[in-house]
Amino acid sequence: MDGGDHGHRCRCPHGPRCTRGPRHGGLAAAALDPRVRAFPMDAATQAMYREHGMDPVTLESDVTTAMTFLHYVLPKPFVSNRAALSAAFLPPQDDDGGVDRISGLPEELLRNIVSRLPAKDGARTAALSCRWRRVWLSTPLVLVDADLLPAGCGSSLRVERAHAQRVESAITRILDAHPGPFRFVHLISCHMQETPGLLARWLQLLAVKGVRELMLVNRPWPLDMALPATFFGMATLTRLYLGTLAFPNTADLPRGVSFPHLRELGLLGMAIVNRDMDFVLARSPVLEILCIQANVLLKWLTLVSRSLRCVQIIEGIDLNIVVKNAPNLERVIIWTSSARDGLHRMVKIGHAPALSLLGYLEPARHLLAIGNTIIKAGTKASPSTTVPSVKILSLRVCFGVRNDAKMLPSFLRCFPNVKRLHLESNETDEPTGKLNIKFWHEAGAIECIQSHLKLMVFYAFRGERGELSFLKFVLESARMLTKLVIVFCKGSFASMAEANSKVKPLFDARWASRDCSLVLFESPLEKGDDKWVLNFERGSDFSTTDPFACTAALQGCVV
């Protein structure tokens, strides 16, 4: 299946007018703070890229945007760099004359206090007394390199080389001095490529002394800096995020290499090939959460794992996803994806009996397969073509492209027990035909809509004929529907009155459910800005039943 005429296809999930960065002054821009933050190349690097036909200025700008996005996605440290160390002591005018009462607390409580301090403040406590030094040395350390930057030097995205060198020296001293373990290490501000062997030494120290959570991001350039092989010695890791590094070759590693305690893994802009990805999954026996942003080199993500519960993708590039054997997998979330050649990429669901949440699937770019059956327009529901465990489903559909819209009934039939449906209407500048309500009725019964659907959220509504005909079909068919939320992007309509006039035709339909309410909501985001404020936090939080309902696009709307 080649996907038909690619010339008319909406290539971007956010429409033809989607920008390459968040709009200045918008909510997304405020969240990302996208001021100019240079990652300057030296003359030799510029010459190298020119020889390969690349413009260094454009490449620098693109990398700055990508790194801003990556740093936003990266999990945040859980210590505060705003706490005043002097707050631990009473002022002189206090009734007891400013006596230090903190030092009299039990050591377990003191360790708890020190563990919540930024690294430099935690180290300073060691100078107070022998007891405080003993407390610091026995506390699982939190090390965030951004906390070591001089005051007022800006964010960790823009770091002068002189400042970075001082931070690198401080990190080395801390890693040498503290016996471990290291509870949380966040290294994103250093120019590690300028000091050969530095990163390898750090990773070896962390491996020997025991690191539990590690966030490690390379600062370009180069874009393909190799991750040292000492990385494989960190068997104590429970949480790991790596960014803009080249993953080591795993072909010749000893059989015993593994990550026996690793429960969460994030790969952000990582150059990792299929074989090495398979190796990591096979050697992580308790891994529950896998997050991938902007995959490089990885073309097939094959999920074989008895422990995985959640897989999230942000900007999957030319990525095929095959759920081969994952008996405990509950969530597969593809927030955004793209195909540079315009061809479809596979999303195949094999053995995944616990899968309850899936999306965003896109008929425009995904070739859906259930078992060994490729789903096509007109595919009928059968035990071999359905995934009955899925209860929450998200789709992106371009109603203005006839071939894409015609795939929607077939996709929906694959998930007969869906109760919550999130559907985003993609935009195209070259429509190829609009389907009326007659088409939807003639397409045949869709079990999830008729018998199970309780909530539907329809995003990026523009009031187009194709959108209205599908919404009418849902209202006339969904007997269990209790709420339909129609979301339009900020600025799509001149006023709320105009927006209300666009949905007015829906009230002419005979609603199948008497208990259904319709909510019309203006998103705080403009079209396309949602992709700039994505992260993995909600999707990885299993206490959040429906992470699709907690996005920035729905901020302020109760669903």
Express each pLDDT in 10-68 by its tens digit. 444 444 444 455 554 454 444 444 443 456 677 887 888 888 888 888 887 777 777 88
CA 369 to chain centre: 24
Over pLDDT 90: what percentage of the chain? 53
Asked whether the predicted pLDDT for residue 2 surpasses 80, the reply is no
Structural tokens at position 83: 């706490």
Give 353: exposed, middle or buried? Use CB within 10 Å, 0-12, 13-18, 19+. exposed
How does DSSP assign 363-396, residue by residue? TTTEEEEETTEE--TTPPP-GGG--TT--EEEEE
**Which of left, alpha, beta for 3 (phi over 0: left; psi -120 to 50: alpha)?**
left
Which position has the higher pLDDT, 150 or 37?
A: 150
Rg of the chain on CA atoms, in Å: 26
Q: From CA 446, how far away is CA 86, in angstroms rounded?
A: 65
Which pLDDT belongs to residue 272? 95
**Phi, psi values for residue 394, rounded to 5°:** -125, 140
> What integer pLDDT is reported at residue 118 of this predicted model?
74
CA distance 400 to 38: 40
Residues 257, 283 contacting (CB under 8 angstroms)? yes
Q: What is the pLDDT of residues 235-260, one digit of tens each?
A: 999 999 999 899 999 998 988 899 99
CA distance 168 to 402: 56
Residue 360: phi and psi, rounded to 5, are: -85, 125
Length of the chain: 559
Span 94-117, pLDDT tens digits: 555 555 667 777 877 887 777 777
Task: Quickly count: other Cβ atoms within 10 Å of residue 537's Cβ.
Answer: 14
Predicted pLDDT at 458: 98
Average pLDDT of the residues of the chain = 85
pLDDT digits (tens, 9 = 90+) for 341-384: 989 999 999 999 999 999 999 999 999 999 999 999 988 899 99
Band (88; pLDDT cuts 50, 70, 90): very low
Per residue in 317-326, pLDDT (tens digit) is: 999 999 999 9
pTM for the model stands at 0.87
**Rounded average pLDDT over 149-167:** 72
- Outline where 487-536 has alpha helix (H): 496-503
**Cβ atoms < 10 Å from Cβ of 532:** 24
